[in-house]
Amino acid sequence: MGRDAGIFLASGLYWDGLDSFEPQTSRTLRFFFSRATTFVDVGANYGFYSLLAAHWNPNIQVVAFEPVPQIFERLQGNIRLNGLQQRVSSYCLALSDRSGPAKLYVPQSDSRDFESTATLAEGNWQQRKGSPTIDLQSISFADFEKQHPARLEIVKVDVEDHEASVLRGMQEAIRRDRPFIVCEILPRPHGNERTREIVSSLGYTPFWITPSGYLKVSQFDFDRRDSEDFLLSPVSTEAEVVTDLNGLWHRRLADIAA
């Protein structure tokens, strides 16, 4: 990690290694990184997971999206610092369910890192707090693919309450490729119903990522202070708790082959 390009992340990695940041989520993604050939990182921030994917698997291709210009500049610096320009493609774009003018709410930071909780979502705490805004053009993944064809195997979404719109904009590619999706879904007053509806319409099963395994859930509105990340799976299982992801991975491969 470059200078002033993810200080919190770099400090944790130096002192405590890979499990210093979101250990359960990181282990989940590492499982998929070792098997997948493509990774789409939506809300890449300074690029921790994009860099990790490319270092973990020398055959994986990464597409990273980060809409905040200052963070995107440092993301690009981290990619260059790691010599990964040929395998990590980065775009200063905000994914949504439509392409057109949009307003990004960017809270002020109290540290040398830029604040990583920017969002396109209206009615959010960032807007209520009076955060500065950036006027930009959002883009749906469907429109992005017209110029940059991609095949989805593993996707990470971290977009601060805008995940329903991102997934809706990706739905054609999701239905086509049936990727695994690791998605941050924060507790919200609205209960994340839009996200639940799009996940259900795609035929996906959500699993809550916990230290004890992957717990199948039917909604996102419950007390989950220990983990805010979910595995959205294109395949399911009769078990309510999954402890080995190999079963889900091979079931997906069998479905695709069929």
| pLDDT of 112 | 65
Measured CA angle at 100 (ends 190, 73), to 5 deg: 90
Local structure of residue 85 (DSSP, 8 states): T
Q: Can you tell me the mean pLDDT for 166-192?
A: 95
Residue 191: half-sphere exposure toward Cβ, Cα within 13 Å: 6
99, part of any domain: no
User: Can you tell me the distance from the alpha carbon of 28 to that of 50, in angstroms, rounded to the nearest whole number?
Assistant: 14
Count the neighbouring beta carbons within 10 Å of the beta carbon of residue 180. Answer: 25
Q: Characterise 214 by phi-psi region: left (phi > 0), alpha (psi -120 to 50), beta (else).
A: beta
User: pLDDT tens for residues 116-151?
Assistant: 777 888 878 787 888 889 899 999 999 999 999 989
Percent of the chain at pLDDT > 90 equals 71
β partners of residue 234: none
67, part of any domain: yes
253, part of any domain: yes
The total domain count for the chain is: 1
pTM for this model (two decimals):
0.94
76, part of any domain: yes
Local structure of residue 171 (DSSP, 8 states): H
Burial track 135-145 (b if 16+ CB lie within 10 A, e otherwise): ebebbbbbebb
- Domain hosting residue 224, numbered range: 7-92+148-257
142, part of any domain: no
User: Can you tell me the distance from the alpha carbon of 54 to that of 165, in angstroms, rounded to the nearest whole number?
Assistant: 27
127, part of any domain: no
Query: What are the tokens at 10?
Result: 């770099």
User: pLDDT tens for residues 68-120?
Assistant: 999 999 999 999 999 999 999 999 999 999 999 999 888 776 666 666 777 88
17, part of any domain: yes
The CATH number of residue 14's host domain is 3.40.50.150
| pLDDT of 132 | 85
125, part of any domain: no
